[in-house]
């Protein structure tokens, strides 16, 4: 393994770390703007119309982050004292600061995820509360796709959302990486979101925009969501500058997600050959999980840093490929791992 001080950095911490391309920056520079709170920013309106059409909904709402679009959805679907069913590993439950409970007065009912990331249908059925004053009112089923890089099977999604609707629940998809799921399964964006009353789609993860998410749903749902977005501080003004990046991302950066999946597979296959490295499973999309011996953590961290590679290093690690990591970057990363674990 050879390194030079001028080597570009490779960042495997997340697919949130991508930099906008020159073409995306040009689109941002040329964006027409208005005032989005007055609903007259033409580029934001165009992004919302594009997203709604692509994902198969009547309307969409642009917001600063996926955490906010998820929270807006939960607060629109549920009232104070209501409950939503959610996986123990789900981002809306585990990684969003408890916002549903703290800001929405919505009780999460966490349920164990299966190995494939799904929630067992019997568990969904079993956790729906009776209509009883002692219980929170179960209003919503929230799923995530992909979840930890795993793709929910289409048949499962159809059965889970049908069950929820049969029991009078609304359905929400945290689709931060739903485009990865669609590309992996070789199905349309509309097919992968079918069955959900709302979906949150992140533009700043694998799609490469610098900021923003869109929430899609029916027209009445999105109109109600605008009030919560304003209350949560998500009302933006000349937001067309960043909305233009979202438009570019949706129009140019979906099909290329297959490259990220291929690079994650290449990285996983190389790591699987090394003594001391244990993969949890071969990656389905752009996220892989691995364990390394605790006494190797400091050595690996130092070696990656010296090679200008950023990663969150620990006994349990997540590595994420994205549009700023090519096959050459994967090869450089594998060189470092081979050097460390050959010792």
Give the pLDDT mean for 77-92. 97
Alpha helices in the chain (DSSP H): 22-29, 42-55, 66-77, 91-94, 99-104, 121-127, 154-166, 178-185, 189-193, 219-231, 240-252, 257-272, 297-306, 327-341
State which of 252, 267, 290 marks the end of a domain.
Answer: 252
According to the model, what pLDDT value does residue 129 have?
A: 96
Contact 163, 125 (CB under 8 A): yes
Start-to-end C-alpha separation, the chain: 13
Residue 199 belongs to some domain of the structure:
yes
State which of 236, 252, 268 marks the end of a domain.
Answer: 252
Residue 197 sits in the same domain as residue 261: no
Residue 47 sits in the same domain as residue 184: yes
pLDDT digits (tens, 9 = 90+) for 279-301: 999 999 999 999 999 999 999 99
**What is the value of pTM for the model shown?**
0.95
CA nearest neighbour of 121 among 56, 167, 73: 167
Give the distance, in angstroms, between the CA of residue 128 and the centroid of all CA atoms in the same chain.
26
How many domains does the chain fold into?
A: 2
Chain mean pLDDT for the chain: 96
pLDDT of 162 > 90? The answer is: yes
pLDDT digits (tens, 9 = 90+) for 119-159: 999 999 999 999 999 999 999 999 999 999 999 999 999 99
Residue 25 belongs to some domain of the structure:
no
According to the model, what pLDDT value does residue 153 have?
A: 97
State which of 218, 252, 286 marks the end of a domain.
Answer: 252
Residue 84 sits in the same domain as residue 14: no
Residue 247 sits in the same domain as residue 262: no
Q: How confident is the model at residue 3 (pLDDT cuts 50, 70, 90)?
A: low
pLDDT of 92 > 60? The answer is: yes
pLDDT digits (tens, 9 = 90+) for 208-265: 999 999 999 999 999 999 999 999 999 999 999 999 999 999 999 999 999 999 999 9
CA nearest neighbour of 55 among 183, 213, 180, 216: 216
**Measured between alpha carbons, how far is 216 from 198 in angstroms, rounded to an integer?**
5
What token pair was written down for 8?
């570009």
Q: Which domain holds residue 291?
A: 10-18+256-341
> Residue 44: CB partners within 8 Å, gap ≥ 6?
34, 36, 62, 236, 239, 240, 243
Nearest 5°: the CA angle 209, 89, 163 is 100
pLDDT of 5 > 70? The answer is: no
Give the pLDDT mean for 81-98. 97
Residue 168 sits in the same domain as residue 295: no
Residue 93 sits in the same domain as residue 228: yes
């Amino acid at each position: 393994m050879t390194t030079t001080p001028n080597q570009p950095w490779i960042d495997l911490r997340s697919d949130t770390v991508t930099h906008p391309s020159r073409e995306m920056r040009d689109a941002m520079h040329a964006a027409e703007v208005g005032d989005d709170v007055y609903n007259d920013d033409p580029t934001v309106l165009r992004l919302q119309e594009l997203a709604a059409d692509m994902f198969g909904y009547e309307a969409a709402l642009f917001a600063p982050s996926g955490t906010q679009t998820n929270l807006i959805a939960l607060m629109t679907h549920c009232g104070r004292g209501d409950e939503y069913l959610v996986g123990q590993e789900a981002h809306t439950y585990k990684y969003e600061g408890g916002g549903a409970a703290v800001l929405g007065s919505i009780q999460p009912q966490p349920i164990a995820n299966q190995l494939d990331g799904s929630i067992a249908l019997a568990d969904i059925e079993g956790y729906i509360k009776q209509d009883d004053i002692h219980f929170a009112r179960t209003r919503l089923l929230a799923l995530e796709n992909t979840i930890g890089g795993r793709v929910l099977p289409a048949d499962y999604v159809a059965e889970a959302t049908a069950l929820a609707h049969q029991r009078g629940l609304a359905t929400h998809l945290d689709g931060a990486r739903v485009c990865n799921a669609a590309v992996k399964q070789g199905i349309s964006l509309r097919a992968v979101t079918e069955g959900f009353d709302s979906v949150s789609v992140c533009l700043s993860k694998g799609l490469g925009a610098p900021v923003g998410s869109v929430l899609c749903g029916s027209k009445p749902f999105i109109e109600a969501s605008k009030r919560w977005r304003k209350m949560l501080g998500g009302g933006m003004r000349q937001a067309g500058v960043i909305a233009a990046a979202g438009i570019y991302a949706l129009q140019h950066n979906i099909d290329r997600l297959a490259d990220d999946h291929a690079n994650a597979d290449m990285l996983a296959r190389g790591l699987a050959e090394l003594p001391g490295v244990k993969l949890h499973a071969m990656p389905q999309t752009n996220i892989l999980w691995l364990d390394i011996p605790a006494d190797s953590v400091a050595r690996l961290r130092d070696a990656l840093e010296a090679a200008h590679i950023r990663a969150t290093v620990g006994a349990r690690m997540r590595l994420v490929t994205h549009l700023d990591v090519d096959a050459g970057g994967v090869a450089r990363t594998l060189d470092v791992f081979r050097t460390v674990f050959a010792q």
